[in-house]
Amino acid sequence: MNQQPTFTLVHEFDAPQKLVFNAFSNAEALNEWWGPAESRNTVISLDFRPGGIFHFQMDFSGSVAYGRFLFKKIRPHDLLEFTNAFADKNAQVVKAPFDVQLPLEIFYRLVFAENKGKTTITLTGRPVDASPEETAGFQSIAGSMEEGFGKTFDKLSVYLARAKTTP
């Protein structure tokens, strides 16, 4: 059996682990930082538990796309696992709205670790039930994923700086 390719990104935040993890579990927080930097993102629903769904809308200057997480494993404040997919307005999985042939779902694993008040997230992603063409598409966008997650995590850093100073 072929090993699925993985995408890995490590990012450090100047915030305690509990605060970083909790930013994934709160709709108000997610409205501020989750999603592509070039879009306005809105939480439609958030059921933060194993088997629960995070459904969100992304507004890109005139066009709308939707996404969803299906939470698999949640171990506060250490681990978060979910599948991520483009979705329709009813949270049903749909193909990516661009030309690259991608897997319908990507499995992500985020491991949170704190050291001296700073938290590192190690994110890994891999295609779920992908065809060879979809796997190649996933591999072809590694640079875009690195840039996209980097900008999203930059937005998270701004949120965390503000949250650390809010009583």
What's the pLDDT at 4? Answer: 73
Structural domains of the chain sorted by starting position, each given as residue range(s) with its CATH number in brackets: 7-165 (3.30.530.20)
- Measured CA to CA, the distance from residue 28 to residue 166 in angstroms comes to 14
- Measured CA to CA, the distance from residue 91 to residue 66 in angstroms comes to 8
Nearest to 29 by CA among 165, 164, 160: 160
pLDDT in tens, 110-150: 999 999 999 999 999 999 999 999 999 999 999 999 999 99
pTM, entire model? 0.94
User: Cβ-count burial of 165 within 10 angstroms (0-12 exposed, 13-18 middle, 19+ buried)?
Assistant: exposed
pLDDT at position 88 over 60 = yes
- Measured CA to CA, the distance from residue 148 to residue 33 in angstroms comes to 12
